[in-house]
C-alpha cells in the first residue's frame, strides 16, 4: 500500500512508519517538526519520502495525496498547558489541519483513513472502564480540539463516504517518546529524573491509576484497523488494565517527593477495549512490567530530556491551576 503518515517523525508516528516499512508498504511522512524529530527516523529515512510541511496550510500539502491508499493522521499539537495559553495554535493544527487533510482525501479513492484521537476527550469519566459511548467532557483546549478533529473525521465518513476509523488512545508510552517541550507525560518526566538522579515528582498521593499502553501495541491496533473492512467506527485503544503511579515508581526505582494534585485530571484512566477486540480482533500484548523493562533498557534516550524539579513544575503548571481550578 502507498501510505501517508502525518506526524511521522513523532513518537507514535515514527514507530508506525517503521512497522509499515517492515510490511513492505511505501511511506510518505508529512511533518513540520514542531514536535517531531528527524532522529526518530534516522535508521530508515532513506526508505521513506519526507515532506516538511504544516498541515494547517492546505497549499503546502495539496499535491501529495494522489494515488494514496492509506492515510494515517497523527499530526497534532499536544500538551495541556500550552493549549490553555495558545488555543488558536491548537485550533489551527488540530482542527483546521485535520479539515485540510480530510479535504485532500475526498474523491481520491482512499482505501482507509485512520485518525488518532485522544482519550482526554472523556474528561473525568463517571464509569470505569470507559467505553466509546461515554460522555464527552473536554476539560482543556487540547482535548477539545482533538475531539473536534474526530467529529470532522466521522462527518466526512458519513457525508463523503470516506472510509474512516478513529482510535482514542490511552496513555501511550515507549521508546522515542518526546523529551523536549513542556511538562507532560508522566513516564517521560520520571525517566528524565531517573537518568539525572533526581527524585520522582509524584502528583497527589500516587494512588491515581493510568491505562498505560505500550507503543507497539498501539501500532498493531492502527495497522489492523487499516487492514480491516470496518469503516466509520470509533474505538478505544488501551491495555485493558490500570497501574498506579506508585507501582510505576516501584518498577523504575528511586526516591520520590510529592506535589499538589492538579485540577481537571481524572483519578483513573481505564479503557474499555471490548469493542475493538470483538470487531477488529485486536488485543494488547505487552504488560507494564515488560514495557518498562524495554524502556529502561533504552533509558539513554532520555539523557537530553528536561529535568523537572518541584519548583520548575510549579512554574510550568501555574496556568493549569489558574484556569482549571475551581472558581471561588
Q: What is the rounded distance in angstroms from the CA atom of residue 103 to the CA atom of residue 245?
A: 41
Q: Which of 90, 115, 140, 142 is catalytic?
A: 142
Give the CA radius of gyration of the chain.
19
> What totals of helices (H) and strands (E) does the chain contain, helices first?
13, 13
User: Which helix (H) or strand (E) element contains residue 29?
Assistant: strand 26-31
Calpha distance 284→216 (Å, rounded)? 9
CB 225 within 8 A of CB 284: no
Is 142 annotated in the active site? yes
State whether the Cα torsion 275-276-280-284 is positive or negative: negative
Contact 292, 233 (CB under 8 A): no
Among 176, 195, 171, 186, residue whose Cα is nearest residue 253: 195
Short-list 74, 65, 54, CA closest to 14 = 74
Separation of first and last alpha carbons in the chain: 56
Question: Degrees (nearest 5) of the Cα angle 218, 74, 10?
Answer: 80
Q: Which three cell numbers stand for residue 48?
A: 521513506
Active site residues: 142
Amino acid at each position: 500500500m502507498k501510505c501517508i503518515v502525518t506526524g511521522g517523525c513523532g513518537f507514535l508516528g515514527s514507530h508506525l512508519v517503521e512497522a509499515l516499512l517492515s510490511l513492505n508498504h511505501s511511506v510518505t511522512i508529512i511533518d513540520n517538526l514542531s514536535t517531531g524529530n528527524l532522529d526518530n527516523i534516522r535508521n530508515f529515512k532513506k526508505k521513506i519520502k519526507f515532506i516538511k510541511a504544516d498541515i494547517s496550510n492546505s497549499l503546502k500539502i495539496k499535491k501529495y495525496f494522489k494515488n494514496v491508499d492509506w492515510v494515517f493522521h497523527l499530526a497534532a499539537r499536544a500538551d495541556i498547558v500550552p493549549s490553555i495559553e495558545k488555543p488558536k495554535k491548537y485550533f489551527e493544527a488540530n482542527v483546521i489541519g485535520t479539515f485540510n487533510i480530510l479535504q485532500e482525501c475526498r474523491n481520491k479513492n482512499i482505501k482507509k483513513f485512520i485518525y488518532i484521537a485522544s482519550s482526554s476527550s472523556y474528561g473525568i469519566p463517571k464509569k470505569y472502564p470507559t467505553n466509546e459511548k461515554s460522555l464527552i467532557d473536554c476539560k482543556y483546549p487540547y482535548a477539545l480540539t482533538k475531539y473536534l478533529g474526530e467529529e470532522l473525521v466521522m462527518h466526512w465518513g458519513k457525508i463523503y463516504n470516506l472510509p474512516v476509523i478513529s482510535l482514542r488512545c490511552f496513555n501511550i508510552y515507549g521508546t522515542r517518546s518526546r523529551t523536549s517541550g513542556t511538562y507532560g507525560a508522566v513516564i517521560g518526566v520520571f525517566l528524565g529524573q531517573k537518568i539525572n538522579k533526581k527524585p520522582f515528582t509524584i502528583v497527589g498521593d500516587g494512588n491515581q491509576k493510568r491505562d498505560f499502553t505500550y507503543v507497539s501495541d498501539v501500532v498493531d491496533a492502527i495497522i489492523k484497523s487499516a487492514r480491516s473492512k470496518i469503516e466509520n467506527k470509533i474505538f478505544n485503544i488501551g491495555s485493558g488494565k490500570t497501574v498506579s503511579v506508585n507501582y510505576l515508581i516501584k518498577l523504575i526505582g528511586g526516591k520520590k517527593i510529592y506535589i499538589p494534585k492538579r485540577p481537571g485530571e481524572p483519578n483513573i484512566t481505564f479503557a474499555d477495549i471490548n469493542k475493538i477486540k470483538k470487531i477488529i480482533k485486536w488485543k494488547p500484548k505487552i504488560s507494564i512490567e515488560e514495557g518498562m523493562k524495554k524502556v529502561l533498557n533504552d533509558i539513554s534516550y532520555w539523557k537530553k530530556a528536561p529535568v523537572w524539579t518541584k519548583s520548575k513544575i510549579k512554574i510550568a503548571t501555574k496556568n493549569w491551576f489558574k484556569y482549571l481550578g475551581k472558581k471561588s
